[in-house]
Amino acid sequence: MPGPSNNKKRTRGRVNNCKRKSTNLPKPQPTRFHGSTTPSPPSSPSPPQTPPPLLKFESPYEHKKLCPVLDEKVSRTVEKVMFQPPFIHDPGNGPRVRDARAFMGSFFAQPPSLDDPLCAEFAQDEVLQMLSTVLPEETALILWYNKSRSRSRICPSCQRLYRLGDALQDLVDEDPEPDKPRPPQLLLEQEISGLCSPVCFILASFNYPGAIKLAWGRMADEMDDSTWELLNGPGVGVAENETSRTLGMLVRMTRLHDLGLAQLCFGVDVEEASLLQVAHS
């Protein structure tokens, strides 16, 4: 019959069953060690390794103290190179040579055409020295360059760098007619003096308005006497300044096959020099 006594009996039975099960479990076996059970002595600590010596770097301040003169020279050279204006500039219608002397020493300058006898004759340094006695250095260098190169040219008026036969952009008309023929005098004048366009030739011979049309693209032996006299005259003085005088002299000199150097250096008459040039050719 149910009651408190029966609950106690059931609890005792459960405890006895747990004890019987625990006595049947296998006992743990002690761990066996093979060999000597004597503990090995502790290993001696390895000696500390000496770190490699650190590299010694000089601070920029120490270097500056050691080489103050070198630093000043380098800084001046860097400033000179960085802040000097470029000797070639392109305003949008073709490159311009700003410094003829710097241009001559660059890879942009074409070498003299020594395979052409006339160009090889003008390529001599003595010719440049003679030109420098009658023209400013910049103009003398440009004229010497044009006469000693067969294809490369620098315009003495606008300093445009080009090659003979190039389709040059017009200096005045921004939208020229694409099929507009070029006058034959244009290429002839480019070969003779390097003046690249009609505008540049007009500016160069502005003091001789009566000879502009008849002198364009022609040598002295291709003009009549009156035109040549106009070019050799004092001019009308419309633009009397150093630039106009220099360009006017360049126009006169380039009408002669030898640039008038025979007359300048040896006192040979212009007509006689032209005859000698024709006979030599």
- For the chain, the domains span 84-165+182-280
Query: Is the distance from CB of 268 to CB of 254 less than 8 angstroms?
Result: no
pLDDT recorded at residue 240: 67
What are the structure tokens assigned to 89, written together?
A: 């500039």
142 or 267, which is more confident: 142
pLDDT in tens, 7-40: 545 555 555 555 455 555 555 555 554 544 555 5
pLDDT recorded at residue 123: 95
pLDDT in tens, 89-99: 887 778 899 99
> What would the mean pLDDT of 34-51 be, rounded to a whole number?
58
Calpha distance 72→1 (Å, rounded)? 119
What is the per-residue DSSP string for 90-116?
--SSS-EES-HHHHHTSTTSPPP-TTS
What is the per-residue DSSP string for 8-46?
HHHHHHHHHHHHHHHHTSPPPPPP---S--SPPPPPPPP
pLDDT in tens, 243-259: 888 999 999 999 999 99
pLDDT exceeds 90 at position 139:
yes
pLDDT exceeds 70 at position 209:
yes
pLDDT recorded at residue 88: 84
What are the structure tokens assigned to 222, written together?
A: 């291709």
